[in-house]
Amino acid sequence: MNIPYSRQALFCALGVLPVAGVNAEGFIDDSTLKLQLRNVYFNENFRDEHGLSPRAARTAKSERTEWAQGFLLDYQSGFTPGTVGFGLDALGLYGVKLDSGRGRSGTGLLPVHDDGRSADEFASAGATAKARFAKTTVKYGTLLPKNPVLIYNDARVLPQTYQGTQITSRDIENLTVTGGHLDRFKLRDSTNSVPIIPDGYSGEKSGDFNYAGADYKWGKNIRLSYFYGELDNFYRQNFAGIQYDLPLAGGVLTSDLRYFNSVDAGAAYSGKIDNDMLSGQLSYAIAGHTVGGGYQTLSGDAGLPYISGASVYSFSNAGIGKFIEEDEKTWMLSYGYNFANVGVPGLTFFTRYLSGNDGKSTTTVKEWERDAELAYVVQTGTLKGLGVRLRNYVYRSDFSRGRDSNRLYLTYDIALW
């Protein structure tokens, strides 16, 4: 067995080498250790007091501005040999405040203390035991779920994490089957592991989240998806989607149709839910340009339910707004350009505009958002992989506060082995 000395020494020091007499080839040789550095500056200015009571408006912040550094250490082992292989993953997360203030906190980059000040630093760690049989893998421990009914949030310094069990099977060609049970989670700006609740819920109840579904690639151009998710005593949700790529006039026309049906479950702690959400999007890519347009409609009782802090599997999950209120109708236009087409690989631009109307919240919902992003990833040389991303968001609404937001991300991935 050929194990680099430095790697073997580290495993011995950490006490994670398999016991003597067990063949560790694969467990160690196939392992990876990566460090991701994230430096994020976040500035958000509020433009009005919609959605606030007169008393709250007098004390509300006019801006939120913070700067933070994140460190993500990600270790993934291989599997021990045999019919059933075993492995162990570990994730270390550490965030440091570079700039903040009592009147400027709350960006989601850092935890906020009771006095309104951001924490100077915060950290958490997680481990995941795993086993593999053929092309089926079972994981238990810290998870980062990503499927239509639950997408972990990774839009700040550190990611949102979950605790539970997940099974993934790829034993059938072109078919991926996934299922899981989750009982706790940590928000992206917190070290506390807490029970799972839906977004917007302020009560004391909570529930476990179960999900199962499948993705199937039919031929070269069609992708089908179905998933089911349930948060105990809150809601049940079914999702079905189809994507189709059509070569057309030298480019590719992609159609993406998504449907959610959500109803309340059990004790219905967050109230009555009977919601349908249908969204469709067309995009055409040619010569570096990508032009897109879409429409989304919600009907029934309540908006689209989802887990607290998570992202939503919808084109309307924009930089600030989500456009998923009860009965809301939203249309969207987008444009992107990849400058590799003119000899500048790694440089990309993207912009979109969303407008939502006819929804119901505390008042009739009308909202719009304009997003723009310019990003560059160094392609060669010593700094290969260094990413710079500048985002600008403008959001206005008649039921919540309008915001102008500028965000700067610097990222750098280091493969330690």
Q: What is the pLDDT of residue 60?
A: 67
Q: What is the pLDDT of residue 19?
A: 43
Q: What is the pLDDT of residue 215?
A: 98
pLDDT tens sequence for the chain (417 residues): 344 445 655 555 444 554 444 456 678 888 999 999 999 999 999 987 665 555 555 556 789 999 999 999 999 999 999 999 999 999 999 999 999 988 899 999 999 999 999 999 999 999 999 999 999 999 999 999 999 999 999 999 999 999 999 999 999 999 999 999 999 999 999 999 999 999 999 999 999 999 999 999 999 999 999 999 999 999 999 999 999 999 999 999 999 999 999 999 999 999 999 999 999 999 999 999 999 999 999 999 999 999 999 999 999 999 999 999 999 999 999 999 999 999 999 999 999 999 999 888 766 679 999 999 999 999 999 899 999 999 999 999 988 889 999 999 999 999 998
How distant, in Å, are the alpha carbons of 200, 207, 269 from that of 204? 12, 10, 9
Q: What is the pLDDT of residue 130?
A: 98
Q: Is residue 107 part of a domain?
A: yes
Residue 107: both structure tokens together: 């960006």
SS3 12: helix
Q: Is residue 25 part of a domain?
A: yes
Sign of torsion over alpha carbons 335, 370, 158, 38: positive
Q: What is the pLDDT of residue 171?
A: 97
Question: What is the C-alpha to C-alpha distance for residues 216 and 211, in angstroms, rounded to an integer?
Answer: 17
Q: What is the pLDDT of residue 222?
A: 98
Q: What is the pTM of this model?
A: 0.90
Q: What is the pLDDT of residue 1?
A: 39
Q: Is residue 151 part of a domain?
A: no
Total number of domains in the chain: 1
Q: Is residue 10 part of a domain?
A: yes
Q: Is residue 171 part of a domain?
A: no
Q: What is the pLDDT of residue 7?
A: 60
Q: What is the pLDDT of residue 22?
A: 47
Please state whether 250 falls in left (phi above 0), alpha (psi between -120 and 50) or beta: left
Domain housing 83: 1-45+62-133
Q: What is the pLDDT of residue 41?
A: 97
Q: Is residue 98 part of a domain?
A: yes
DSSP 347-395: EEEEEEEEEEEEEESSSEEEEEEEEEEEEEE--SSTTTT-EEEEEEEEE
Q: What is the pLDDT of residue 10?
A: 53
Q: Is residue 29 part of a domain?
A: yes
* Burial readout 332-358 (b: 16 or more C-beta within 10 A, e: otherwise): bebebbbeeeeeeebbbebebbbebee
Q: Is residue 2 part of a domain?
A: yes
Residue 186: both structure tokens together: 């940590």
